[in-house]
Amino acid sequence: MSEPARPRSMAVWALIGAAVMAAVDEIVFHQILGWHHFYDRSSGAVGLLSDGLLHTAELLALVAGLFLHADLRRRRALAPAHARAGFFLGLGAFQLFDGVVDHKLLRLHQIRYGVDVTPYDWAWNAAGVLLLLAGAALAVRAGRTTVPSAR
């Protein structure tokens, strides 16, 4: 059995987590609720194209992450506790990046239109922060449980 690849397990699952959160965003907010497109500063056709490109990137990231996960499993180097931490870090990183960079700095889109977006922004970014904090707590816990005790 190989030595677990702790940083790689965390990175691979952070990629998967970001892809999963992108999928949730795309499916729920872009398709089911129809609140926005990835790029809303042009025509509806361009918005739909941008959603397709986001969906393509999310699927490619998910497939790549799963192949990397399979490689870790094949080499018996998967560190499950670090992978769980990475998953939550990826979820939170995507959520917060989307909320701060895409929504506010670049203004590619807003969460919703025709309403006061303040509560939506707070909820969106707070969810990202909570996911990041959960990932950080899991990472600290994983680091403590895998470090040999000093005697």
31-36 average pLDDT score: 90
| CA angle centred on 129, ends 124 and 132, rounded to 5° | 125
Q: What is the pLDDT of residue 127?
A: 97
Distance from C-alpha of 30 to C-alpha of 23, rounded to nearest angstrom: 10
Q: Residue 150 pLDDT more than 70? A: no
| CA angle centred on 94, ends 58 and 96, rounded to 5° | 155
Q: pLDDT tens-digit profile of 91-143? A: 999 999 999 999 999 998 888 889 999 999 999 999 999 999 999 999 999 98
For tokens 């094949």, what's the residue? 74
Under 8 Å between Cβ of 10 and 92: no
Q: What is the pLDDT of residue 40?
A: 82
Statement: the pTM of the whole predicted model exceeds 0.85:
yes
Q: Considering the chain, what percentage of its residues have pLDDT values greater than 90? A: 75
User: What tokens appear for 44 in the block?
Assistant: 């509806």
- The tally of CA atoms less than 13 A away on the side-chain side of residue 17 is 26
| CA angle centred on 143, ends 84 and 19, rounded to 5° | 25
Distance from C-alpha of 83 to C-alpha of 115, rounded to nearest angstrom: 38
Higher-confidence position of 34 and 23: 23
138-150 average pLDDT score: 75
